[in-house]
A and B are shown apart, each in its own frame.
Chain A
Amino acid sequence: MRQVAIITEEEKDKLIGRQFMTDVYFNPIQDANNNWIISSEEIDQSEDKEIISFKDLRLKIHEAKIEQTDETPKDEPSKDEPPKDTTPPKK
């Protein structure tokens, strides 16, 4: 299971644009509950332990936002979709 830690919005702002090791950037994201989180890998590998208080963070199982894998794209109608029936119902 993927492990992450919840951080505050202020901590998120501190981490954005910062590298946690050479050539790799922090990526705070929001989980399914709109909490800001970072991954256990970012915490474990961070070369600067003073950016935020990592020792106070508690790991939890990641609850990802629902993502669309798009077997059928939702933002455009399918070309295979039959035209809507506009014939009035028979009485």
Chain B
Amino acid sequence: MLAVYPFVGGTATTCKFNLKNPLNTDAAFRLSFVGGWTFSNNGIQPNGANTYADTFLIPLTHWTLGSSSISAYSRANNVDPIGVSFGSKGVNFSSALYSAINATNVSIFHNQQLPITPAPPTTTALNFISSRINTTEIIVAYNGSTTNNASNVGNLSPASIYLSARNNNNGVPDLYSSRQLAFAHIGTGLTQAECTLLYNRIQTFQTTLGRQV
């Protein structure tokens, strides 16, 4: 794990820290919230119009082509055909990192040119994990259910990862999401077993706080 965001405390100041390194610095991947966010004990609520959170974590710097993972715990079951819960992309799509998920379509980019399109989940209120443990496969996890998907890796994005939007070509946010988030992480690659284990621990954490979906 490089960054873990539990989103507790109900304010921007309490939600911005990376649990792995809780320093108030960009280098520690402390979040910078931008736009019309609202905060509550249920997590962080973007508005789908102009909100994003900069993690300052750059795939090209901190990931390797064959080992990376990212997750987001969405509390919202909604259509939101455009928004993404995390995103980064360089000039070309070969470095794209984001997942557009709704009831009818799923497009997942995890450092590759063309998206993988697994079957959509039954709800968008879920913990979603995208993980690469090598250069030819992406593991996708909807809650504790995992699938292995063939996908050749492209490049790593030089743009820092945004939450609740995509950092398109280094500093241009787009694909704004309106889904409330209650957890997110960024790290090295996770196996299918590790994805399930991570989900179980996240869900236990959310249940303890009474905000599980």
Q: Which residues of A are in contact with B by a Cβ distance under 8 Å?
A: 2, 4, 21-29, 37-42, 45, 62, 64, 67-71, 73, 75-76, 78-80
The stretch that binds A, out of B92-100, B180-188, B195-203, B205-213, is B92-100
User: Are A45 and B92 interface neighbours, CB within 8 A?
Assistant: no
Q: Which residues of B are in contact with A by a Cβ distance under 8 Å?
A: 11-13, 16, 32-38, 47-52, 81-82, 91-94, 96, 100, 105, 107, 109, 113-115, 174-176, 178
Q: What A residues does B93 contact at CB under 8 A? A: 70, 73, 75-76
> With A and B bound together, what is the CA distance between A30 and B58 in angstroms?
26
> With A and B bound together, what is the CA distance between A45 and B11 in angstroms?
12
Q: What B residues does A64 contact at CB under 8 A? A: 49, 82, 176
User: Are A2 and B16 interface neighbours, CB within 8 A?
Assistant: no
Q: Is the interface of A mostly helix, strand, loop or mixed?
A: loop
Top 5 nearest A-B pairs (CB, nearest first) are A41-B36, A39-B36, A27-B35, A73-B93, A23-B12
> With A and B bound together, what is the CA distance between A21 and B109 in angstroms?
34
Q: What A residues does B13 contact at CB under 8 A? A: 22-23
Q: What B residues does A22 contact at CB under 8 A? A: 11-13
Apart from A39-B50, A42-B36: 11 A-B pairs, beta carbons within 8 A:
A4-B50, A23-B33, A28-B50, A29-B49, A39-B36, A69-B100, A69-B107, A70-B107, A71-B105, A73-B93, A73-B114
User: Are B32 and A41 interface neighbours, CB within 8 A?
Assistant: no
Q: What A residues does B16 contact at CB under 8 A? A: 23
User: Are A41 and B92 interface neighbours, CB within 8 A?
Assistant: no
